[in-house]
Amino acid sequence: MPWNSRKLNDGRTIPEIAFGTWTLGNGQDPIDYVDNALDAGFSHLDTAQAYGNEKEVGIALRESGLAREDVFITTKFSGRDGLSIEQSIRNSLDNLGVKYVDLYLIHHPRLAQPDIPSAWAVMEKIQAEGLAKSIGVSNFEISDLTTLLASAKVKPAANQILLHPYVNVRQAPLVAFCKANDIVVEAYSALTPLTRQRGGPVDKPVNAIAARLDASPDQVLLAWARAKGAVLVTMSSKKERVEGYLKAGDIELTSDDVRDIDVAGALGVRLSARTVLRRVAGLTVLTTAAFGVCTYLGVEIF
């Protein structure tokens, strides 16, 4: 089936696949890459305060000629430059050149200062003011969500998390918790077995499935994450790959396919994003140094 939209718990909808902008940098390149994605048919752009390229995303959006309401925009509060959540959303809107974003996320629970309930109350205010149509979180664990839900007037619409076969066993309880609480899971780094851990156990079943379906391995991995019920966040600087990601919406894996990838993933070496963050303990914001350490260790924190 093709990529569709998913209904959020606030009644709005979110496209099932997004083009992300982490690691794309600044300048003309990210403008061109986002333009490629929009031209190929992407209708969901995912960025963040920490990525430093919200302005480029905004330029690409304006140059595309697409109507604002035809593109779903997600950005995130990343604790940059000492700005509060309220200051940050307004700064992001200025950078993007829009009056609202469709989804605004707290990038990590460590950024929910002075505590999760207080930070979430500010997020609810932002939504009430119309600066963000929907609000959510990223990298929140079950304990973080439990704390949030205990005082929330508005449920988080989404939780964007690391999800690929090598972390599936660890993340499965979190995915189940989100489903039980009607919180959409967004998966980032679903292509990690190809981009950072090539040669692992997952290669065999993925390659076999790809050959059988006349698909590419990256399309199979995207289809696997979709089978887990996730909205996908992915990216590429190559237009042909971006077009291939969209075609992955036509791939439907069997239950045996999903099981084979799950089993292979459980055999792989897993390093949790949470462990990496402990190694950069003391950082209260997702600084460039923190992102650098995560990249060095092979773990992506979108």
Which parts are annotated binding residues? Answer: 107
Question: Peptide bond before 109: cis, by omega within 30 degrees of 0?
Answer: no
C-alpha to C-alpha distances, 57 to 6, 216, 228, 249, 273, nearest whole angstrom: 23, 28, 29, 24, 26
| Spatial separation of the C-alpha atoms in residues 188 and 91, rounded to whole Å | 24
Architecture in CATH of 5-296: Alpha-Beta Barrel (3.20)
Q: Please report the pLDDT score of residue 282 as a whole number.
A: 43
| Spatial separation of the C-alpha atoms in residues 32 and 10, rounded to whole Å | 33
Local confidence band at 198 (pLDDT 50, 70, 90 cut-offs):
confident
Each residue's pLDDT tens digit, 203-237: 999 999 999 999 999 999 999 999 999 999 999 99
- Indicate which residues carry an active-site annotation: 51
Tokens 């050149």, located at residue: 97
Q: Please report the pLDDT score of residue 269 as a whole number.
A: 53
Which parts are annotated binding residues for substrate? Answer: 107
Q: Please report the pLDDT score of residue 64 as a whole number.
A: 95
Q: Which of 15, 75, 71, 67 is nearest to 48 (CA)?
A: 75
